[in-house]
Amino acid sequence: MANTTGAPALAASALTKTYRGGRGKPSVAALGGLSFEAAEGTVFGLLGPNGAGKSTTVKILSTLSRADSGRAFVAGIDVAARPDQVRHRIGFVAQKQVSDPMDTGRENLVLAGRLQGMAGADAKARARELLQRFSLDEAGDRLVKTYSGGMARKLDVAIGLMHRPAVLFLDEPTTGLDPEARADMWAEIERMSAEERMTVLLTTHYLEEADRLASRLAIVDHGRVVASGTPEELKNELRGDAVVVELSHEADAPAALASIGRLDVLREVAASGTVLRARADVGASALPLALALLEEAGIRVASATVARPSLDDVYLSHTGRTFARAQGEEL
Ligand SMILES: Nc1ncnc2c1ncn2[C@@H]1O[C@H](COP(=O)(O)OP(=O)(O)OP(=O)(O)O)[C@@H](O)[C@H]1O
């Protein structure tokens, strides 16, 4: 279903949402004025640690939940005012498995198509096409309970695609998959977005996944977008190289910070556990100076690297903490 309005495929504007506690539990402010726009035909990534507010945003955009304030649009249609119109245009692949393990893959697909109002022959043809596309054609007539985790996840994505949605929501599509199944899913998502010419909203807490798949992304932290752009733009915002030094002992971190903090070739020096991070215009010449100072102070170093900025550095520069640490805080 093409979007002929010229509006962005997806738009969220100043969304807020607080989950009321009840029974003595405190309220949780999940979204605190979240805004972004995604252009038609692109993969847009919402990247953030667990609890950042990604799923809440997806639920609001896909009409499953209502915002307390702010507005959300799919293909220019207000999701709160016209949820039925929005539902026809979207596919939603939730974190939990939706397929019935006691049916075959093909039966699951055909049923999903019929529930979406497709005629029987059309649903069967589309099921055949999607089983082939996701390399599930040989497994298509087996019960889903015999599928691997990666196969079941691909079937869930295919179910979301049955009615040819204009926008597909993929909520954490590779969580729980092993590295091989994850790489396979990435290749499928890339192929799918190219072939189906759909807009995909991908939520993920994997930096590598966002970097690889999203043409644009918004980094979400505590219910707000803290940075957005293409992965390259976000990384280019950070001038210079990342210098990373891992200490042998976390107890040395304060002394190490004080020591290398004196170097004026280093900026944004920060410690997180045993890891010290800083930025330098020329990392390769700043690193030996830093190591010399640490040695002078009697501080043992486990490893040291110089790298081009990563999305982790972008996250750190906007939130003051590393992605891994933010992830840990929420678990
Ligand atoms: N139904 C609910 N009731 C109460 N609190 C909720 C509910 N759903 C989410 N929350 C809270 O709202 C905040 C945002 O959660 P949300 O699921 O949107 O984050 P997320 O970024 O998608 O994380 P995850 O990757 O773990 O799903 C979290 O603090 C979470 O605990």
Percent of the chain with pLDDT over 70: 98
**Which residues 6+ apart lie within 8 Å of 204 measured at CB?**
45, 46, 47, 54, 172, 173, 174, 210
Q: How many domains does the chain have?
A: 2
| The pair of three-digit structure tokens given for residue 307, joined into one six-digit string | 């790298």
Q: Looking at the CA of residue 25, tell me the nearest atom of ligand 1.
A: 4
Confidence of residue 5 (pLDDT cuts 50, 70, 90): low
Range of the domain at 301: 239-308
Are 152 and 102 in contact by the 8 Å Cβ rule? The answer is no
Residue 30 Cα to ligand 1 midpoint, Å, equals 6
Residue 222 Cα to ligand 1 midpoint, Å, equals 10
Alpha-carbon distance 32 to 194, whole Å? 33
Quick check: is 326 in a domain?
Answer: no
pLDDT at 189: 87
Alpha-carbon distance 289 to 283, whole Å? 10
- Lowest-confidence region among 169-173, 195-199, 263-267: 195-199
Helix, strand, or coil here: 31? strand
Whether 51 lines ligand 1, by a CB cut-off of 6 Å, is yes
Q: What is the pLDDT of residues 201-224, one digit of tens each?
A: 999 888 888 889 999 999 999 999
CATH of the domain at 129: 3.40.50.300
Whether 205 lines ligand 1, by a CB cut-off of 6 Å, is yes
pLDDT at 331: 43
pLDDT at 309: 79
Is residue 71 domain-shared with residue 202, that is, in the same domain? Answer: yes
Is residue 87 domain-shared with residue 127, that is, in the same domain? Answer: yes
Q: Calculate mean pLDDT across residues 138-156.
A: 94
Is residue 130 domain-shared with residue 27, that is, in the same domain? Answer: yes
Q: Alpha-carbon dihedral of residues 94, 98, 104, 106, nearest 10 degrees? A: -50
Whether 65 lines ligand 1, by a CB cut-off of 6 Å, is no
pLDDT, greater one: 136 or 327 = 136
ipTM beyond cut 0.90: yes
- Lowest-confidence region among 167-176, 186-195, 258-267, 293-302: 186-195
pLDDT at 320: 76
- b/e per residue, 264-277, with b = 16+ CB within 10 A? ebbebbebbebbbb
Mean pLDDT over all residues of the chain? 90
Residue 100 Cα to ligand 1 midpoint, Å, equals 26
Residue 24 Cα to ligand 1 midpoint, Å, equals 18
**Among 18, 56, 323, residue to substitute to test ligand 1 (most atoms within 8 Å of Cβ):** 56
Whether 30 lines ligand 1, by a CB cut-off of 6 Å, is yes
Q: Looking at the CA of residue 46, tell me the nearest atom of ligand 1.
A: 21
Q: Helix 120-133 and helix 179-196: axis angle, to 10°?
A: 130
Task: Answer yes or no: pTM beyond 0.90.
Answer: no
Quick check: is 146 in a domain?
Answer: yes
Q: What is the pLDDT of residues 293-311, one digit of tens each?
A: 999 999 999 999 998 878 8
